[in-house]
Amino acid sequence: MKPFRFVPDNTNISFMKLARPGFYVSIAAVLLSVVLFFSVGLKYGIDFKGGTQIQIRTMDGPADIDGLRKTIAGLGLGNSELQEFGRPDDVSIRIETQPGGEDAQQNAINTVKKALGDKVDYRAVDIVGPKVSGELARDGALAILLSFAAIMVYIWLRFEWQFAIGTVATLVHDVALTIGLFAILQLQFDLTIIAALLTIVGYSLNDTVVVFDRFRENLRKYKKMDFDEMIDMSLNQTLPRTLMTSISTLVALISLYVFGGEVLRGFTFAMIWGVLIGTYSSIFIGAPLLSLLGAYVDRAPTPGPGDNAQAEIVQP
Amino acid sequence: MLHFSKLKAFIIVGVVVLAALLALPNLLSESTRAALPGFIPSQPVTLGLDLQGGSHVLLEVDTPSLKDVLGKQLVGDIRLRLRDAKIRYANLKRTPEGASVNIPDAAKVEEAFTVLRGLSQPIDTGLFGQGVQVQEFDIVRDGQTISLSFSDGGMQTRISRAVQQSLEIIGRRINALGTTEPTIQRQGVDRILVQVPGLQDPARLKSLLGQTAQLQFRLLCDNQPQGAGSTVPLGCEELVDKENPGQVYWVQTSRSATVDGEDLNDAQTGFDQRTNEPIVNFRFNTTGAQRFCRLTQNNVGRPFGIVLDNEVISAPRINEQICGGSGQISGNFSTDEANDLSIVLRSGALPAKLTIVEERTVGPSLGSDSVRAGFIASVIGLIGVLIFMVVSYGLFGVFAVLALVANLLMILGTLSFLGATLTLPGIAGIVLTMGMAVDSNVLVFERIREEVANGRSPLNAIETGFRLALATILDANITTLIAAVILFGMGSGPVRGFAVTLGIGIVATVFTAYTVTQLIISGWIKLRRPKVVPL
């Protein structure tokens, strides 16, 4: 059987020419995301805001959401929000944090249960008290920052500082755009999205590192070549791999998105977006940044672990 | 490089077979598992609460309530010490941070100060094995007033001790529920995490956890409130009725008018012989029996209150002295209420109130839906990746898929072996690993193609391809591993499950890509002696 090439061989796309407009678009998008984050803001789930989230399934056919909304609103529990959850008979109910400390949250859920009676199946009940939600929010932000720092150190050790700056810039770009998307679409932002962000960071990095690795290799091989030309060459050489991996990861993710159930949908959505953005950013952000910082790259880097192989490479 | 020694090949195959064996129990039914011979592992992956349904309840020691209890104890201790030292005192009272007392005789203040300082035990904070010692109390003398307040270190130790005691008591209470495999663990300084799988309704669990269960038998005051707004007489405090919060009682505060529930030996649910109502029968230990006997003996004809967590359950009249050491509590209970009360009384009282700071309950219906959805998504994802790989890389794609299957077996086997918990996000981690695992193979295959294009012989190209891709594979996976480790460190519950499968997946990926795929390809080369690389 003859393998089918999804990505043609020996592409010769001048990414560096495309990079400039791409760079501007990205900067604008990142700025927009930051503005959105501070103006519109994220729609935080109860993990970070505290409150109660109840998932019910009505036992007598499709749920009467308007009726339920009226019932819940009449309970005097402050702001509440109802929406269909994947199926017409599944409803997700969210109630804001009740004033009066941790016990007040427990009383709220009892009030709701009394009001809804026993015609519904309580599929899930989550109550996050004000104390815990504050901690989760802090831990989530901390985790993202910590991952940036750890990765920067790793890349710095394995490569050089220019590469570290390039990677972290792509990561900030990816995380910012994902947050921006969640702000525009007002999708619920909860703990699983933090998990998704960290995975996106890992994935995007994976892509960037592969490109950088190839670039470093070429740097040793072709000592005289023009910098931008070399970046283009490295990107073209790794392009089949970059796209193949993205496609196969997307295949798995789309299967999760479609068949994995409502609970995971927010997470998978963030991941799909992250893979797309991560693939884009390693080509259009990470590599061009290297070109900007290129003047400082040492052309005779200290040998790395893969280097003993270099001696016998046949120069084309 | 493509030559594997017999030993090396044997080890690689051995690891995969072992993983398969460890993963096997997950594919078998419970009865088949039980029938397996002993040497085959029979431990399946534990499903998380979000997959099998159950309740996750995070409790926190309520510091104000603990302070209150400790303050009361401190007042008692001060009284005892001063009395033993024969020092007169006045105005002994609780303060927000501890207690204070007045010594009317100025000449005795110094002596009282020394006596009371004896109350404060030095505490070993034991940070970093430095053995830093702090005092339990800060003692301050101001004129003739001596005040004691809990030091930060003292409070920390008390909280820590309270958590330790609560763990045991909660364990006893939950075991009485008869559910399977509850987990109760300490979290941080002042928290306890309770996870009970397969619970339909967490209300009962929460009511069992929410009660401090301080039972007291206390004499009522001679005067009882007449309508609202009456002032509580000296030596009395106002408590409400448990059933009917409108009804209040004045209850004596004196220690000599009180018998504590901590002297209980046993409590069982029973039925009143006349009314057939559920009641709780209890039995005192010797100390309790003696005290109860004395209290009832001296107060025949007067009412006393049965007080649970500062609420009056009932206030019967003492008809005759009760010296047999047993008695019963009736209070319009339902059978469940009576059962729960006897459980909490048997298990002992919590040292302080525990508040629920987080609760996550998944019903069994959602759990099984999630398992089904996760399974379908995994299978379809696997098939999708499989088709994609075979279409893109032909025979080598088949090799990659074999490596992927080995990878999945290793993830499942490791999870089973470690007794790790599989959550829904954990399944997502596995599906994601499937997508990303082929990355290592893609890296190698693309590199081989390049080397072929560079004019190398098939064997040489394959060998070089593997060697050059290794550093990249490592770099790329270590960075993702960093993210997984951080996620594991900060995450809780389900998110942690994701970090676990992602992390195990990455390690398995590097292993399979570099050993399994290579072994398969080297076997193929030996068998076919290829003239061209089919890529």
CATH number of B211-360: 3.30.1360.200
* Helix-helix angle B517-528:B364-418, to 10 degrees: 70
Q: Do domains B6-51+367-528 and B211-360 have the same CATH topology?
A: no
Dump pLDDT digits (tens) for B414-425: 999 888 888 888
pLDDT, residue A314, reads 41
Q: Does domain A15-43+133-300 have CATH number 1.20.1640.10?
A: yes
**Does B1 contact A at CB distance below 8 Å?**
no
- Give contacts of B478 with chain A, Cβ < 8 Å: 154
Is A195–B450 a contact, with Cβ atoms under 8 angstroms apart?
Answer: no
How much of chain B, in percent, has pLDDT values that exceed 90? 18
Report the 10 Å Cβ neighbour count for B96. 9
Dump pLDDT digits (tens) for B80-98: 888 888 888 888 888 888 8
Question: Rounded to a whole number, what is the distance in Å from the CA of A24 to chain B's nearest CA?
Answer: 27
pLDDT, residue A298, reads 59
Domain boundaries defined on chain A: 15-43+133-300, 51-128
Mean predicted lDDT score pLDDT of chain B:
86
Q: Which two tokens stand for residue A141?
A: 């932000």
User: Quick check: B361 and B54 in contact, CB under 8 A?
Assistant: yes
Q: Which two tokens stand for residue A38?
A: 């501070």
Q: Which has the higher per-residue pLDDT, B155 or B122?
A: B155
Q: Which two tokens stand for residue B126?
A: 């034991």
Instruction: For tokens 């399934």, name the residue.
Output: A57
pTM over 0.80: yes
Question: Rounded to a whole number, what is the distance in Å from the CA of A280 to chain B's nearest CA?
Answer: 17
**Does A128 contact B at CB distance below 8 Å?**
yes
pLDDT, residue A306, reads 44
Is B475–A213 a contact, with Cβ atoms under 8 angstroms apart?
Answer: yes
Dump pLDDT digits (tens) for A192-234: 898 899 888 888 888 888 888 888 888 888 888 888 888 899 9
CATH class of A51-128: alpha beta
As a whole number, mean pLDDT of residues B205-224 equals 86
CA dist B112 and B126 (Å) reads: 31
Q: Which of residues 193-232 of B touch A (CB under 8 A)?
A: 202-203, 206
Dump pLDDT digits (tens) for B373-403: 999 999 999 999 999 999 999 999 999 999 9
Domain boundaries defined on chain B: 6-51+367-528, 63-157, 211-360
Q: Do domains A15-43+133-300 and A51-128 have the same CATH topology?
A: no
Is B381–A255 a contact, with Cβ atoms under 8 angstroms apart?
Answer: yes
Give the nearest partner residue to B468 out of A244, A247, A309, using CB atoms.
A309
Q: Which two tokens stand for residue B228?
A: 């609202």
**Does A54 contact B at CB distance below 8 Å?**
no
Residue B256, pLDDT above cutoff 80: no
Residue A209's identity, in one-letter code, is: V
- Give contacts of B451 with chain A, Cβ < 8 Å: none
User: Quick check: B255 and B336 in contact, CB under 8 A?
Assistant: no
CA dist B383 and B375 (Å) reads: 12
Is A249–B446 a contact, with Cβ atoms under 8 angstroms apart?
Answer: no
CA dist B411 and B433 (Å) reads: 10
CB pairs under 8 A between A and B: 249
pLDDT, residue A309, reads 41
Q: Which residue of B has its CA nearest to A51?
A: B358
* Helix-helix angle B424-453:B458-490, to 10 degrees: 150
pLDDT, residue A299, reads 56
Q: Which has the higher per-residue pLDDT, B321 or A182?
A: A182
Q: Which residue of B has its CA nearest to A135?
A: B490
CA dist A20 and A99 (Å) reads: 52
- Give contacts of B391 with chain A, Cβ < 8 Å: 3-4
Report the 10 Å Cβ neighbour count for A157. 9
Is A106–B356 a contact, with Cβ atoms under 8 angstroms apart?
Answer: yes
Question: Rounded to a whole number, what is the distance in Å from the CA of A77 to chain B's nearest CA?
Answer: 18
CA dist A200 and A42 (Å) reads: 18
How much of chain A, in percent, has pLDDT values that exceed 90? 34
For domain B6-51+367-528, give its CATH number from 2.40.30.60, 3.40.50.2000, 1.20.1640.10, 3.40.50.720. Answer: 1.20.1640.10
Q: Which two tokens stand for residue A19?
A: 């990079």
Which helix (H) or strand (E) segment is B36 a member of?
Answer: none
Q: Which of residues 416-445 of B touch A (CB under 8 A)?
A: 424-425, 427-428, 431-432, 434-436, 438-439, 442-443
